[in-house]
Chains A and B, each alone.
Chain A
């Protein structure tokens, strides 16, 4: 195996240095000399310590489970199962943008167009972050480092200390796969004479609480940001109070016009009603399609029990074991595509007007 193993020693007395990742100033335990350590190509590591303890994380989970639209017996049947603290690594690429930027402005002055050049001097810090592991596996969309740092300061990464009571995840996505290379900072816009200085990459380990609870022999997970207390991911059984009423309402809406039409067909003047139906064939078909869509939606809710999933700000209901397309959905699809194809045909007929050839 090729590669390099370098020994890090105090430049003053030669004693070994106990260096932490992310730490740049190190004090020699033998002679007390303070040294600035710089290793080329090394990505320094930092960590943010949790603000929430297990109890507080549990409370955040309980608060989430007290929300509306969840299974009615959730409070009674849900039991805390397990919890763990995990550190997830996130890349942070930073740079300083310095330079002059010229912006051209076209101004109308007394009916003349004047090009005006405006130069601005830029001096700003730019930061870009990207997860160093597949956060999607956790159902997490994003962890905003900026928000975390507002609450807790970043500290040099001390693997031994963190691993004592938490699982520390190692970065598995290389920097170029995560898109955190210097290439991200390049400008090719005319008039942009800025440069990116002090481009630096680091890994910040962010703590999250993984809370598992059981409900009727099933395990559910909730991931809580251990600094801000925000729910990063959550899953819970959906309530089913409205399942039957939804189906009844959808069927009532659909059956009412159908049954009335059937009554007229059999009891009323058949000739009149036939003319009526032919006259109204198009709106009736549109209406029928609309009813089928309503019933298809109600069927999904009626037939398949759901689970509420939180992903950051997004909340959605997943229907369990629902095939990609149910029978009703297929029917609605066919009807809709029929309408779409007829509509496009009508459009075609209108555009190729018969009298154009004369």
Chain B
């Protein structure tokens, strides 16, 4: 948003709703206090394109997905969000049609904000709100005391795994990943493998405990058996990626 400098008439970009701004032309200080309308700002992305591969791999590994993905395309987009203050509470609404369902969980990240300057942004990358704010306020029945329009940066990442295409939206500030479809998980295989290893240990101990007549020998035998059991289990589980 811009205000007119009272001194020289130049357009002063404003990223705050209350505070000091400095005129870039005549360097005079202006005190700005906006009570009405909304402030339109853009959050500066901090996640670079080179970070995407690792960010996505970290996310997928934590969800026990197979690694070996290949990123085919990554594009940056700024998606609009309304932030509405009602009394002491602020509510967030996605301002354009939700591109993917899981993006519903997304909130506006905190970050370094810059004013939205119409002439200076790449318009193709900025999605504009689908409806005027007045309609949203009426529909939701909110008594808004303050409204902001935030453009949140995302990376849309198209990646391939096993020649199947997937898409993920990555919050370009916090690195949160939103995706509706993920590559297949190996959780079940892993469950089975680990359960088999546990049953094996149980079986060995059970047979030892049940087969020996003198109870005094059982505990030392358990201790002795633990050593080969440890190595066998370790070998069995080696194939499972952790």
Q: Residues on A close to B: CB < 8 A? A: 1-9, 16-21, 39, 41-43, 45, 81-82, 84, 133-134, 137, 163, 167-170, 172-174, 176-177, 179, 214, 217-220, 240, 244-245, 247-249, 251-252, 254-256, 258-260, 262-263, 266-267, 299, 302-303, 305, 320-321
Contact = CB atoms under 8 A, between A and B. Distances in A.
A219 B218 contact: no
Nearest to A260: B209
Nearest to A169: B110
Contact of B61 (A42, A217, A247): A217
Chain B binding surface SS class:
mixed
Contacts of A17: 28-29
A172 B6 contact: no
B28 A16 contact: yes
B198 A247 contact: yes
B54 interface: yes
Contacts of B233: 244, 247-248
Contact of B19 (A45, A247, A249, A266): A45
B32 interface: yes
B62 A321 contact: yes
Contact of B205 (A43, A218, A219, A256): A256
Given A170-B16, A255-B202, A255-B205, A2 B88 contact: no
Given A244-B234, A303-B194, A3 B32 contact: yes
Contacts of B27: 16, 18
Contacts of B18: 41-43
B118 to A, nearest CB: 14
B201 A251 contact: yes
Given A19-B29, A41-B18, A320-B62, A177 B88 contact: yes
3 closest A-B pairs (Cβ-Cβ)? A259-B209, A16-B28, A3-B34
Most buried by A among B31, B46, B174: B31
Contacts of A262: 206, 209-210
Contacts of B57: 217-218
Interface stretch (B124-132, B157-165, B222-230): B222-230
B20 A21 contact: yes
B113 A5 contact: no
A82 B47 CA distance: 11
